[in-house]
Amino acid sequence: MFVVATAGHVDHGKSTLVRALTGMEPDRWAEERRRGMTIDLGFAWTTLPSGGTVAFVDVPGHERFVPNMLAGVGPVPAALIVVAADEGWMPQSAEHLAALDALGVAYGLLAVTRADLADPGPAIAHARAEIAATSLGAVPAVAVSGLTGAGLPELRAALDRLAAQLPAPGVDDPVRLWVDRSFTVRGSGTVVTGTLGAGRLRVGDELELAGADDPVRVRGLHSLGEARTEAAAVARVAVNLRGTPRDRLGRGDALLTPGRFHHTDLVDVRLAGDPAADLPATLTLHVGSAAVPVRVRPLGPDTVRLRLARPLPLLVGDRALLRDPGRHHVSGGVRVLDVAPPPLARRGAAAARARVLAELDGRPDLAGELRRRRLIQAGALIRMGVPVQDGPVRAEPADAGPVRDAPAYAEPVAGDWLADPAHWRRLGEQLTEEVARHAREHPLAPGMPVDALRQRLALPDRMLVEALVRPPLRVHAGRVAAASPDALPEPVARAVQRVRAEYGDRPFRAPEADRLVDLGLGPREIGAAVRAGALLRLADNVVLLPGALDDAVRVLAGLPQPFTLSAARQALDTTRRVAVPLLELLDRRGATRRLPDDARVVVT
């Protein structure tokens, strides 16, 4: 299926043409039929000569109903522009065309209707010239009469050719279904309709609805009047929602694949074409089927910041339209550059931001996003419309070209955190410096707490601190410190050296308490040396050199088993002060076992 929206001045024969092509009535309301004028969107479809299906979104031409028209064309990438042969190009012909241009619609057809009333030649020439100057470019033109049926076969063939040109939809992309109608069906509840431009919907799916805490559930699906279990883009769909009251949603809301869209009320955008210098401070932003008042803050020559009156699920690269509802005037198209822009608090921030925006073109750019954001979770980027790994790239209008040279994949640095490589390197260096500075200022502390580092480096997650730690640094017990004893503060290292020199040949003699004081080894210094593996602590103020445990086991194994404390003390040539805690430590480590009579054996 492909979907085409009509466009054109009031009374130029859009609905008549749709009716003649499909045999269906696009004017759904009695009031429309009574007044002979379309007020709201109409929907109809037919089979083309190729066997394919075309669905029409028929829009009103009257200037009062331009917002309805925009809700219809917003999600639709192709247009059937209708001009009456006897009236020619008119104000809403121009406004509708400006809207299509602003939205970047690149596929279309011109139908000059009422060709039974006047020579269609001049209207065709004028309209084609106007259209050629827009995103639609040169379009095929067909002269028709909705009254006599002349030209309809040619128009059907032209619709088939148009369908063949349209880019294939991303059927695996996330769903963003802009609601254009909602109503209640007795016995079924709330039903919404829309044009599914990408992705697929299935009965039973859970979808996200902006502003709702709970997901909504698809209870039933219809497309072209028939019940389906699944509908894939492109399609007109009617979605029956389970347990969602009718007043919870309506035109301008969107049903979304959960977790794939960022709801934003602040976007930086580029104005298309030659932006008017005097853009009003408040305008209406039209995107998808939504129309939201916005405040406009100029940034660069063609870039502005928009503050939306309510958040919308927007993606980088989205096309939208700004309109001045008071003046019945399309101010122009915009392309979304950033859906999570930084606040502009500091002096000069707006100018700096304008320079950044000058470099952006609305094409998702992973490397650029990482450079600007430095550190971000992959999920957050995906919700902005920036793919973080190889995958289907969103269908782009013809002018957008291929996605620029950017790494198609970024390796997370921790969890799902992605980092700009240069920033990550700098953070690593900063961490090393912070740990060294901390060690200088607190020489006896067992390293710098991970949380203190997280704060110093302004990191959002402890996990990132731990991922930044590289040898010789290591994380131990919530602190980051050098792993090697070489990192001992100089006086402690010297004291340990003295202990080694004095006690190296009497490995089971521990320095007396007053000797430790002489050496400058207080409890904190001993703690630092023990953590660095330079000393072994048996009890308060009882330390040996590392390796003493293994040596002791060797000596004790040479004794007749079991052995007493006194035998051990003599064999080790030491005192009770050392022997008692030493044996207890060996017991705890399972190297010796204490028997009921207090004798011990070496466990082999």
**Interface contacts to Mg ion, rule CB under 5 A:** 14-15, 38
Nearest approach in angstroms of CB 19 to Mg ion is 9
- Residue with Cβ nearer Mg ion (8 or 300): 8
Stretch that binds ligand GTP, among 31-39, 102-110, 258-266, 588-596 (CB under 6 A): 31-39
275 with 336: CB under 8 angstroms?
no
CA distance 474 to 531: 12
Give the residue, chosen from 114, 200, 373, 394, that forms a contact with ligand GTP under the rule CB under 6 A: 114
What residues does 297 pair with on adjacent strands? Answer: 305
Give the helix, strand, coil percentages of the chain, each rounded to 5.
30, 30, 40
Which has the closest alpha carbon to 55: 150, 196, 251, 250?
Answer: 196
CA distance 82 to 5: 10
Considering the rule CB under 6 A, would residue 68 count as an interface residue with ligand GTP?
no
CA distance 392 to 414: 25
- Residue with Cβ nearer ligand GTP (15 or 193): 15
Name 88's Cβ contacts closer than 8 Å, sequence gap at least 6: 122, 123, 126, 127
145 binds, among ligand GTP, Mg ion, none (CB under 5 to 8 A by kind): ligand GTP
User: Parallel, antiparallel, or unpaired: how do β-strands 53-58 and 42-47 relate?
Assistant: antiparallel
Considering the rule CB under 6 A, would residue 93 count as an interface residue with ligand GTP?
no
Helix (H, G, I), strand (E, B) or coil at 96: helix
- Residue with Cβ nearer Mg ion (57 or 538): 57
Considering the rule CB under 6 A, would residue 90 count as an interface residue with ligand GTP?
no
288 with 176: CB under 8 angstroms?
yes
What does the DSSP 8-state code read for residue 318?
-
Considering the rule CB under 6 A, would residue 270 count as an interface residue with ligand GTP?
no
Is the omega angle on the peptide bond into residue 356 within 30 degrees of 0, that is, cis?
no
Nearest approach in angstroms of CB 62 to ligand GTP is 5
- Residue with Cβ nearer Mg ion (46 or 430): 46
Which has the closest alpha carbon to 80: 176, 175, 6?
Answer: 6
68 binds, among Mg ion, ligand GTP, none (CB under 5 to 8 A by kind): none
Give the residue, chosen from 24, 90, 117, 393, that forms a contact with ligand GTP under the rule CB under 6 A: 117
180 with 71: CB under 8 angstroms?
yes
Stretch that binds ligand GTP, among 58-66, 314-322, 427-435, 583-591 (CB under 6 A): 58-66
Backbone angles phi, psi at 45, to 5 degrees: -150, 160
Give the residue, chosen from 1, 3, 7, 38, that forms a contact with ligand GTP under the rule CB under 6 A: 38
Nearest approach in angstroms of CB 332 to ligand GTP is 23
180 with 67: CB under 8 angstroms?
no
Which residue intervals of 136-264 are DSSP H helices?
A: 152-165
Considering the rule CB under 6 A, would residue 147 count as an interface residue with ligand GTP?
yes
Considering the rule CB under 6 A, would residue 96 count as an interface residue with ligand GTP?
no
Stretch that binds ligand GTP, among 7-15, 240-248, 286-294, 392-400 (CB under 6 A): 7-15
Nearest approach in angstroms of CB 263 to ligand GTP is 34
Considering the rule CB under 6 A, would residue 60 count as an interface residue with ligand GTP?
yes
394 binds, among ligand GTP, Mg ion, none (CB under 5 to 8 A by kind): none
What does the DSSP 8-state code read for residue 414?
B
Considering the rule CB under 6 A, would residue 36 count as an interface residue with ligand GTP?
yes
Nearest approach in angstroms of CB 13 to ligand GTP is 3
Amino acid, res. 44: A
Strand order of the sheet with strand 479-482? Answer: 448-449, 479-482, 473-476
The residue with its CB nearest to ligand GTP is 61
Nearest approach in angstroms of CB 409 to Mg ion is 49
Stretch that binds ligand GTP, among 6-14, 184-192, 449-457, 508-516 (CB under 6 A): 6-14
CA distance 61 to 96: 8
Residues 11-30 that bind ligand GTP (CB under 6 A): 11-16
Considering the rule CB under 6 A, would residue 313 count as an interface residue with ligand GTP?
no
Residues of the shown chain interacting with ligand GTP in the complex, contacts defined by CB under 6 A: 8, 10-16, 36-38, 60-62, 113-114, 116-117, 145-147
